């Protein structure tokens, strides 16, 4: 079974608009972490934002915020005021495993295209 | 400023060849990872290592092996390359997870695109 599900293979958004990229996860571990990475066409993976399972508030980093709904097991990425440079692949990931030998499991990604 | 270096950006190999993909990090990280990335499948974990000479299988270890003789270097080995191993391979590293650490973010290399003919 998929542990990280990204149901949107592709999304379009107009410049300066906000966009939400969906991510749902599946775990029975009470302690876990959720990450979002961006991969531009150049290929490098860029860390965007992190949410711990015990964090009380939704994570924010500049124009990025994570809409964390624990009961629904969702961790959607919200990008406000989209820019052309936001066009990229976006991956949601979950940390699972025992302390110090844990690993990151990635979703299949969402390709975001920002148009003028 | 490069912190995770993958030795080859592009490789073309023939079926049956032995292939080495090298990854070196200069951040003194304990944990290192190899992923492969394929369209529509995202990143899938092949192997990871949390210490020198230690290795753990990821989700898709079949057809691969790894070597970690030194802390800074983590090699991925394809003993006999096959066409279905044509892919982008990404190496990543991070420090060991302290009890109070949160994000403990992975740092990725630029990737190695392998084509097996």
CB contact under 8 A, A47 and B106: yes
Q: How far apart are the first and last CA of chain B?
A: 34
**Cα(B85)–Cα(A70) distance, integer angstroms:** 37
- Decide: helix, strand or coil at residue B82: coil
pLDDT at A97: 74
Mutate to test the interface with B, among A104, A107, A110 (most CBs of B within 10 A): A104
DSSP secondary structure letters along B33-55: EEEEEETTTEEEEEEEESSTT--
Whether residue A98 is predicted with pLDDT greater than 90 in this model: the reply is no
Mutate to test the interface with A, among B1, B58, B97 (most CBs of A within 10 A): B97
- pLDDT per residue, tens digit, chain B (117 aa), is 669 999 889 999 999 999 999 999 998 899 999 999 999 999 999 999 999 989 999 999 999 999 999 999 999 999 999 999 999 999 999 987 765 556 678 999 999 999 999
CB contact under 8 A, B40 and A9: yes
DSSP label at A81?
Answer: S
**Cα(A95)–Cα(A77) distance, integer angstroms:** 17
Number of H helices, E strands in chain B: 0, 12
**Cα(A26)–Cα(A116) distance, integer angstroms:** 36
How many degrees, rounded to 5, is the angle at CA B52 between CA B51 and CA B57? 65
CB contact under 8 A, B44 and A101: no
């Amino acid at each position: 079974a998929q542990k990280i599900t990204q149901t949107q293979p592709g999304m379009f958004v107009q410049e300066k608009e906000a966009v939400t990229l969906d991510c749902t996860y599946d775990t029975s571990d009470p302690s876990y972490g959720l990450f979002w990475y961006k991969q531009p066409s150049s290929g490098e993976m860029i860390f965007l934002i992190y949410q711990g399972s015990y964090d009380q508030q939704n994570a924010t980093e500049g124009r990025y915020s994570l809409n964390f709904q624990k009961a629904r097991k969702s961790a959607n990425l919200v990008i406000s005021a989209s820019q052309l440079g936001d066009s990229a692949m976006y991956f949601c990931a979950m940390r699972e495993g025992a302390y110090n030998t844990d690993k990151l499991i990635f979703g299949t990604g969402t390709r975001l295209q920002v148009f003028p | 400023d490069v912190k995770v270096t993958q030795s080859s950006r592009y490789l073309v190999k023939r079926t049956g060849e032995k292939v080495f993909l090298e990854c070196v990090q200069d951040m003194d990280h304990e944990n290192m990872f190899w992923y492969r990335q394929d369209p529509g499948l995202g990143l899938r974990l092949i192997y990871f290592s949390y210490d020198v000479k230690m290795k753990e299988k990821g989700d898709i270890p079949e057809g691969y092996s790894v070597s970690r003789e030194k802390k800074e270097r983590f090699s991925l080995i394809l003993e006999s390359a096959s066409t279905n191993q044509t892919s982008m391979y990404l190496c990543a590293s991070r420090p060991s997870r302290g009890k109070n650490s949160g994000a403990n973010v992975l740092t990725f290399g630029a990737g190695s695109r392998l084509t097996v003919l």
